[in-house]
Structure 1
Amino acid sequence: MMTLKNLALGALLLGATSSLTSCYETDGNPNEGKARLQIALTDDPGDYQEVWIDVKDIRINVTDADDQNWTSLPGVQPGMYNLLDLVNDKDTILADAEIPSGRISQLRLVLGDNNYIITNRGEKLMLTTPSAQQSGLKLNIHQPVIGGIINKLTLDFDVAKSIVEAGNSGKYILKPVIRAVLEAVGGNIKGFVLPDTVQTAVLAIRGTDTIASTYTAAGGYLLRGIEAGTYSMHYLPVDTTFLPLVKDGVTVTLGQVTTVDTVRLQKK
């Protein structure tokens, strides 16, 4: 059985490390005008040992204009990625950022020059990129991003179709064929704890597992990206003159925000 001490430790660890734990505005109101956008990369298998791409930037556009309004996405993780490490439903996060909620019209995946393959014979062959794509491969998205939840845009890279041999020259061209899939990931839990002057650890627990946690700010809290299901909410006040409290049966629905009734802490 999980003790109060273990729960509090779990809250501290998750509050420091979990990518699903949310921050709250200093006035205690969740920043619902913002949408959390994750860009993930995955791959369909190809007939090579390795396929490396050099990711430099990801830019988004909320308009249909091709020549303006492009903005680099905050939180991009540039670097070298072996696409063949990302097969069979594996993916990696290229960016994790908060952006204004609304609509994404277009996205550009900007690659550097260090793209190459390792053939099944162990040869390293550099991939050239057509000049038309040097400003970034443009993908049309035209979908809304919803405030208050995690929106995950998966770039499904088709290696077999993306690498083309240029005649009999022995040169290979990288012409990325990518399918973009945008989906909501989990739902949110928000609520309020009184007295609002007492900072309280808030944990969403399923079975014996602490799924997510945060601390209240001015009484308010928000947990984002929680898998759909039913949770037990544990409230652990930092001020130990107040009793901890548990609220069972909190249901999370995909793509929605579950508002928990206000919790009132009691003195010992």
Structure 2
Amino acid sequence: MKFPQLLSVAALASLAFAGCSKDNDAQNQAKLEVRLTDAPGDFSRVNLDVQQIEVHLKDEADPTGWERLAFTPQALNILDYVNGRSALLVSTDFAPGDLKEIRLILGPNNTVTTRDGETYTLKTPSGQTSGVKLKLDKVTLRASETYQLLLDFDVAKSIVERGNWKPGNDKKERYLLKPVVRLVAQEIAGGIYGQVTPAAALPQVLAIRSSLTPADTFSTSADATGAYRLQSLPSGTYRLEYFPSTTAPANQPAYRPATRTGIVVVNNQQTNVPSVSLVN
């Protein structure tokens, strides 16, 4: 999200109103993230054709309990996401409540590339065409809180070589895809707080998670003392942008936007940002 260096008072008033409405709506919603990471295997590339992600909201036996999450179908080389890296699949507002299961539905275009550069289609056994289902144990989404579901894909265990395959045999797929996925569920409780001066500037504060592509943006307003706080932030590196929503009185220095970069947020910790001034 980008802003011009100077915004009109009217535009900022509109931003403040929209931000307030968004914040009020957000207070009644939970935030749900779904991420994918990988335990390495002895391959050079593994492409997963991820088509759909769903969560189950009712008892396991109720087939109507599945709800589709906002997700764009895409191919992911999961070997890009090792050693602490992860792919953000879903980041969405969600109604508070209990989650029972998550289901990852794969398409037919899954492939594996071996160390010698040969690429093979990964055949999925018929019993798993309905999706990879993972049970959730006591996962409750609460209003204004963020919850993350990390799908830890084990490549070494998930890709199985057929016992009857022989080099040069083009009629049989060499590998089967039998996904082995460990689910890690956690509440996200990082935060940022600080002070903006002068408080009379009525500043808006944007926290942009710059370590994520595409970037994720959170917003709030400073209170009457210039203090602000953003809660339930996912861990990562943030850029903070501050915008005055009013003009300075006559004969006083003009209010200017300000930016702070490299703000690191860690789960279950509150990051204090040094005071920011909106005047030269």
Give the TM-score of the pair, scaled to structure 1: 0.67
Q: Residue 46 and residue 218 in structure 1: after superposition, are their counterparts in 2 closer, same or farther (change >3 A)?
A: same
Name the residue aligned to 1:148: 144
Q: What letter is aligned with 1:181? A: V
- Contiguous gaps of at least 5 residues in structure 1: 1-7, 12-22, 191-197, 205-211, 245-251, 259-268
1:105-144 matches, within 5 Å, as 105-142=100-137, 143-144=139-140
Q: Which has the higher contact order (CA 8 A, sep 6+)?
A: 1
Q: Residue 63 and residue 10 in structure 1: after superposition, are their counterparts in 2 closer, same or farther (change >3 A)?
A: farther
Secondary structure at the aligned position of 1:89 is classed as coil
Name the residue aligned to 2:188: 185
Deviations 1:50-80 (A, max 9, x none): 1111000001111233422111112x13211
Please give the root-mean-square deviation of Cα atoms over the aligned residues, in Å.
4.2
Deviations 1:128-173 (A, max 9, x none): 1112211211110131223212211110000000011222135311
1:1-268 matches, within 5 Å, as 24=19, 26=21, 29=24, 31-66=26-61, 67-74=63-70, 76-142=71-137, 143-169=139-165, 171=173, 172-188=175-191, 200-202=203-205, 214=219, 216=221, 223-226=230-233, 237-241=244-248
Q: CA deviation at 1:29?
A: 2.8
Q: CA deviation at 1:226?
A: 3.6
Deviations 1:170-225 (A, max 9, x none): 531111000011112234579xxxxxxx8631367xxxxxxx76354999x87344
| Aligned counterparts of 2:149 and 2:22: Cα–Cα separation in 1 | 31
Q: What letter is aligned with 2:128? A: Q
| Aligned counterparts of 1:134 and 1:227: Cα–Cα separation in 2 | 32
Give the TM-score of the pair, scaled to structure 2: 0.65
Give identity over the alignment, percent. 36
| Aligned counterparts of 1:256 and 1:48: Cα–Cα separation in 2 | 37
Q: Residue 165 and residue 27 in structure 1: after superposition, are their counterparts in 2 closer, same or farther (change >3 A)?
A: closer
Deviations 1:31-50 (A, max 9, x none): 32311111111000101111
| Aligned counterparts of 1:106 and 1:51: Cα–Cα separation in 2 | 25
- Contiguous gaps of at least 5 residues in structure 2: 8-17, 166-171, 194-200, 208-216, 256-264, 272-280
Q: Residue 10 and residue 99 in structure 1: after superposition, are their counterparts in 2 closer, same or farther (change >3 A)?
A: farther
